[in-house]
Amino acid sequence: MRIILKGSKVKSKLTEKVEKISGQNIFACYQCGKCSAGCPMIDSMDYMPNQAMKLLQMGAAEEIINSKTMWMCASCHTCSVRCPRDIDLSAVMEALRLIYLRTNVNKVEPSQIPEEELKDLPQIALVCNFRKMTR
Ligand code: SF4
Ligand code: SF4
């Protein structure tokens, strides 16, 4: 991963891309944890929202892009309302998903879902998954 040094900050190309797409200043986060404390999806995430911000600040965007966190985010905006630095974290999560989807790799392959499971899955969950996780 290419790292760019800017003053005292370390920025990766991916972090710059996340900032550009989301319109958010990743380095404004000071790790208060309020976003994670209010996140309703926290139990399903492998990195908490504030940890995702820390990874982005450290230039480790690939780590978070390959995690479950951005897919578990329900875009409820609770974190954005609670953030004392006015960071729209749901926009950051959306940017991460977009960057992943632009790699043109299907996260969910419809033809691989067993028929038995398809019978029980709510249609809305399938539509949501296909919209978020397929090309
Ligand atoms: S927008 Fe996503 S990260 Fe933020 S509180 Fe809601 S589920 Fe959690
Ligand atoms: S609430 Fe805002 S400042 Fe606090 S950890 Fe989350 S993103 Fe960072």
CATH, residue 68: 1.10.1060.10
Q: Ligand 1 atom closest to Cα of 35?
A: 5
Whether residue 88 is found in the same domain as residue 114: no
Query: How large is the average pLDDT for residues 107-126?
Result: 81
Same domain for 124 and 86? no
Please report which confidence band the pLDDT of residue 9 belongs to, taking 50, 70 and 90 as the band edges. low
Query: Which tens digit of pLDDT belongs to each residue from 10-23?
Result: 568 899 999 999 99
- In this structure, what is the dihedral angle of CA atoms 29, 76, 97, 47, given to the nearest 10 degrees? 60
**Mean pLDDT of all residues in the chain?**
87
Q: Is the same domain home to 97 and 117?
A: no
The whole-model pTM stands at 0.77
Higher pLDDT: 106 or 44? It is 44
Residue ID of nearest Cα to ligand 1 atom 8: 39
| Residue 12 to residue 61: CA distance in whole angstroms | 8
Percent of the chain with pLDDT over 90: 55
Domain count, the chain: 2
At 30-81, the pLDDT tens digits run 999 999 999 999 999 999 999 999 999 998 888 898 899 999 999 999 999 9
The residue whose CA has the least distance to atom 4 of ligand 1 is 79
Residues 129 and 78 in one domain: no
Handedness of CA 12, 36, 46, 120 (dihedral sign): negative
Provide the residue range defining the domain that includes 63.
3-103
Q: What is the structure's pLDDT at 4? A: 45
Distance 118 CA to ligand 2 centre (A): 38
Q: From CA 27, how far away is CA 9, in angstroms rounded? A: 8
